[in-house]
């Protein structure tokens, strides 16, 4: 593929770090937009990557940043908001997407790759509703767009297995809301490959790709799998929905929001796909078990190795 000039929003996040590294290796010139350079001052960027401080909600600044670009990649997203009224999700997912679309048109840039989520527009959570509204804006934009809808994304440094690992290290019992909720986790490297294959592919214009793995797990199975990999004997305590809702409400007021009311509502809709986007793009999905040792490490001492093979209740 001919090297391109790419402007990326949300490029310093989990998926963004992996994607930027790959695109830089492929020889593309990349401009990362960030609202605060100080938070990234210690980050080593690959050659050909420029980190530019910018208020992404400033339409004029966005237009200027997009000038001369071949494509824009919007990876910006949040899993929780301040409060529980949907305004935070709409600002990040919907309002910013509309600003990006308008700025692209004024700058004369037509190619947009948009990160979304499996089940966007479905269910009752503010998160999924806002993702759906953002997709609607992209589809109505008249741009050459491609939308990616991943299930939960796993990989080194993720916010899923690694987050559960941190919780499991702290407590012998883990009360779990929506323990039977189902997921088809997708590897971050496969998500990156999907973006790369679509970037210069005209056949992907106007397409939505559901990105999910071939394996389906309940939330409880994922937590138990994590415990076994860590060599920990832990009790996973499934909560009835009434207590799960209460757990979400309580955590709404905990700094950092490890769980929330909106997370609970999202879990009411299983994160499993219908039309395999990885298969459509010719990508063989990575199995969870193949990557867990790299994500979580190995239990090293004799007692931990023994515990890995004991049942997690």
Q: List, for residues 205-217, the tens digit of each pLDDT value.
A: 999 999 999 999 9
CA distances from 16 to 22, 77, 137 (A): 10, 11, 22
The answer for residues whose C-beta is within 8 angstroms of residue 272's C-beta and 6 or more apart is 118, 151, 182, 183, 184, 212, 216
Kindly indicate the confidence band of residue 298, based on its pLDDT and cuts at 50, 70 and 90.
low
Mean pLDDT of the chain: 93
Neighbours of 311 (CB within 10 A): 7
pTM: 0.92
So what's the pLDDT on residue 38?
A: 61
Q: pLDDT at residue 306 above 50? A: no
The answer for residues whose C-beta is within 8 angstroms of residue 165's C-beta and 6 or more apart is 226, 230, 296
So what's the pLDDT on residue 300?
A: 41
Mean pLDDT of 40-45: 64
Q: pLDDT tens-digit profile of 237-252?
A: 999 999 999 999 999 9
So what's the pLDDT on residue 44?
A: 72
User: DSSP secondary-structure letter at 271?
Assistant: B
Kindly indicate the confidence band of residue 302, based on its pLDDT and cuts at 50, 70 and 90.
very low
Q: pLDDT tens-digit profile of 151-181?
A: 999 999 999 999 999 999 998 999 999 999 9
CA distances from 134 to 45, 114, 223, 262 (A): 29, 9, 31, 18
Q: pLDDT tens-digit profile of 110-123?
A: 999 999 999 999 99
Indicate the pairing of strand 217-218 with strand 182-183. antiparallel
Are residues 4 and 23 in contact, defined by beta-carbon separation less than 8 angstroms? no
Place of tokens 């559901």: 210
Domain boundaries, the chain: 5-156+185-211
Neighbours of 310 (CB within 10 A): 12
Q: pLDDT at residue 305 above 50? A: no
Are residues 172 and 234 in contact, defined by beta-carbon separation less than 8 angstroms? yes
Q: What are the structure tokens assigned to 197, written together?
A: 């294959």
- For the domain spanning 5-156+185-211, the CATH number is 3.40.50.720
Q: pLDDT at residue 69 above 70? A: yes
Closest C-alpha to 46, from 23, 65, 69: 23
Q: pLDDT at residue 35 above 90? A: no
65-96 as b/e: b if 16+ CB within 10 A = bbeebbbbbbbbbeebbeebebebbbebbbbb
């Amino acid at each position: 593929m001919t090297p391109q000039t790419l402007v990326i929003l949300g490029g310093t996040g989990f998926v963004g770090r992996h994607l930027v590294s790959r695109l830089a290796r492929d020889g593309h010139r990349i401009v990362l937009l960030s609202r605060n350079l100080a938070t990234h001052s210690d980050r080593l960027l690959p050659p050909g990557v420029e980190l530019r401080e910018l208020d992404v909600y400033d339409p004029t600044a966005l237009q200027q940043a997009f000038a001369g670009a071949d494509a824009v990649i919007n990876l910006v997203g949040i899993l929780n908001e301040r409060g529980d009224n949907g305004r935070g999700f709409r600002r990040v997912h919907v309002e910013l997407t509309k600003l990006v679309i308008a700025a692209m048109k004024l700058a004369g840039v037509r190619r947009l790759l948009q990160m979304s989520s499996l089940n966007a527009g479905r269910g009752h959570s503010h998160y999924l509703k806002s993702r759906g509204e953002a997709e609607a804006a992209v589809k109505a934009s008249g741009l050459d767009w491609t939308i990616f809808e991943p299930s939960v994304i796993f990989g080194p440094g993720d916010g899923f297995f690694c987050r559960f690992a941190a919780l499991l290290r702290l407590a012998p019992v883990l009360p779990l809301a929506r323990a039977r909720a189902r997921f088809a986790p997708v590897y971050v490297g496969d998500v990156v490959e999907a973006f790369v294959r679509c970037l210069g592919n005209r056949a992907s214009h106007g397409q939505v790709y559901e990105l999910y793995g071939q394996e389906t797990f309940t939330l409880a199975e994922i937590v138990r799998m994590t415990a076994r990999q860590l060599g920990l004997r832990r009790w996973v305590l499934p909560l009835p929905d009434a207590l799960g809702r209460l757990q979400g409400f309580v955590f709404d007021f905990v700094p950092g929001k490890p769980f929330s009311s909106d997370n609970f509502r999202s879990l009411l809709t299983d994160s499993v796909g219908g039309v395999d986007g990885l298969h459509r793009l010719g990508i063989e999905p990575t199995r969870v078990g193949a990557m867990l040792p790299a994500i979580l490490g190995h239990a090293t001492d004799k007692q931990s190795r023994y515990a890995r093979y004991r049942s997690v209740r």
